[in-house]
Amino acid sequence: MSRFEQAGLEAQGRDVTRAVQGGKRATRLSFFIAGFALSCWAPLVPFVQTRIEADAATLGNILLCLGLGAVIGMPASGACCARVGAKPVILAGALCLLLILPLLSVLSTPMALGICLLVFGAALGAIDVAANIHGMAVQDAAGVPLMSGFHGLYSVGSLVGAGSMAALIASGVSLGASTLSAAAVVLACVVAAASGFVRTPASEGGMSLVLPRGIVLMLGVLVLICFLSEGAMLDWGAVLLTQEKGVDVSLAGVGYAVFALAMTVIRLVGDRLVGRFGELRTLVVGFAGTATGVAITAFSGSLIGVLLGLFVAGLAVGNVVPALFTLVGRQQMMPVQPAVAAVSICGYLGVLLGPALIGYVAHWTGLVEAFYGVVALLLLALCGVPWLRTLALSKP
């Protein structure tokens, strides 16, 4: 090899390295934006209910618009990513978020709020799908596991968004100023990420809605069960502590905080674990450990035991979804863009329908027994992991 050829290869290698580093930054900020924006909305809900004088049924209908928007945005995002790539979808979604956040603090009619939440949810769903597609492309270029760390930034964004918004409101800052501050954070993240995006694979004729099939359907079911268990902790964990475990209501939020913190921490170091043990072992340990943690939570009669169970469940479940999305990008049954969208919808259905199903089961059998039902679903998911063996052991 001549000196000029060697210099050319070295320059090409440096270009690839710079592209990967920029891609990592852009993907991390994309996940952070999604988690941050969604969690900024949560502290606003009580104020919205008071402002529009909505009863529980009216508020429920308004909140349903957020989920409906996400279900619309996810398949549309997959189709758009197939045609124009992930970058325009993420930037357009982020622009919608920063424009709508301030509106949520001032709108005073159910119709206007419902429309805004519909667009808000569509933007969140679009970013979720596009960020996963972009993350897979960056991971393939880097040649090492990265998805756990990317998803970890979503968790970090959730913690920062909820904490900062609650702190601003508690300190007397107006809702308008608080949401404008949140919009400014989103804008700063967009500016920092814009130059780092890499080109994602495109395909012709992407459909707006594609049903999962074959191995993609299996992955979708596993993601659904995983998100259902997370939703159980979010929506029913505090109720379990207060009504079944005798914990004072002032400590009700501690349980989910422990679960979320454990999940965030394990995701930030998860890429090293996945790189060492592989996706298959990550899934086995993840589903088995989550089932164990939920079982301890349901069975234990002490606060320490319950918190230990929540901590174990958070550690175990943290890397399951990133590993599953890595396998979605590796499968050959469907093009990656509609496959990611389909699996994302399955996961979101778990978030939407799971807590309601748990409520129905709890009504007839009791909340502790409903949590044991979640354990059974997680063990059922564990039985499905061996079907992914060939896919998990294949080269990206």
Summarised one tens digit per residue, pLDDT across range 282-296 is 999 999 999 999 999
Question: How many Å is the maximal CA-CA distance in the chain?
Answer: 77
pLDDT digits (tens, 9 = 90+) for 252-281: 667 777 888 898 899 989 889 998 988 999
pLDDT recorded at residue 42: 77
The CATH number of 1-196 is 1.20.1250.20
Does the structure show a pLDDT above 60 at 1?
Answer: no
- Please state which of the ranges 60-69, 174-183, 189-198, 373-382 shows the lowest mean pLDDT: 60-69
pLDDT digits (tens, 9 = 90+) for 148-167: 899 999 989 988 888 888 88
Terminal-residue alpha carbon distance, the chain:
30
Angle between the N-to-C axes of helices 56-84 and 336-365, in degrees from 0 to 180, rounded to the nearest 10: 160
Per-residue model confidence (pLDDT) at position 246: 80
The distance from CA 17 to its chain's CA centroid, rounded to whole angstroms, is: 27
Which one has a higher pLDDT value, 299 or 352?
A: 299
Q: What pLDDT shows up at residue 124?
A: 93
Q: Is the pLDDT assigned to residue 242 strictly greater than 70?
A: yes
The CA distance from 392 to 244, in Å, is: 40
The domain 210-396 is placed in CATH, from the list 3.30.230.10, 3.40.50.720, 1.20.1250.20, 2.60.40.10, at 1.20.1250.20
CA distance 367 to 306: 14
Please state the rounded mean pLDDT for residues 357-369.
85
> pTM of the prediction?
0.80
Least confident of 27-31, 41-45, 115-119, 277-281: 41-45
Q: What is the pLDDT averaged over residues 38-44?
A: 84
pLDDT bucket at 18, cuts 50 / 70 / 90: confident
Distances in whole angstroms, Cα of residue 53 to Cα of each of 57, 110, 166, 203, 248: 12, 9, 22, 48, 30
- Band the pLDDT of 249: cuts 50, 70, 90: low
pLDDT of res. 393: 65
- Give the pLDDT band of residue 394 (cuts 50, 70, 90): low
Residue 64 pLDDT: 80
User: What integer pLDDT is reported at residue 16 of this predicted model?
Assistant: 59
> In whole numbers, what is the pLDDT of the chain averaged over residues?
85
Helices (H), 206-335: 215-239, 254-268, 270-299, 303-317, 320-330
Across the range 215-235, mean pLDDT stands at 87
Please determine, for residue 4, whether its predicted confidence score (pLDDT) is greater than 90. Answer: no
Does the structure show a pLDDT above 50 at 8? no
Q: For residue 210, what pLDDT is reported?
A: 65
Region(s) of the chain under CATH 1.20.1250.20: 1-196, 210-396
As a whole-number percent, the residues of the chain with pLDDT over 70 amount to 90
**393: exposed, middle or buried (C-beta count within 10 Å: 0-12, 13-18, 19+)?**
exposed
Q: pLDDT category, 315, cuts 50, 70, 90?
A: very high
Q: 80 vs 244, which has greater pLDDT?
A: 80
* Integer angstrom CA distances of residue 5 from 1, 2, 13, 16: 6, 5, 12, 17
CA distance 97 to 74: 15
pLDDT for res 202: 67
> Model confidence over 110-143: pLDDT tens digits?
899 999 999 999 999 999 999 999 998 898 888 8
pLDDT attached to residue 10? 44
Q: What is the pLDDT of residue 131?
A: 94
pLDDT the model gives residue 11 = 44
Q: Which residue has the higher pLDDT, 3 or 189?
A: 189
Taking alpha carbons only, the member of 230, 197, 236 closest to residue 321 is 230
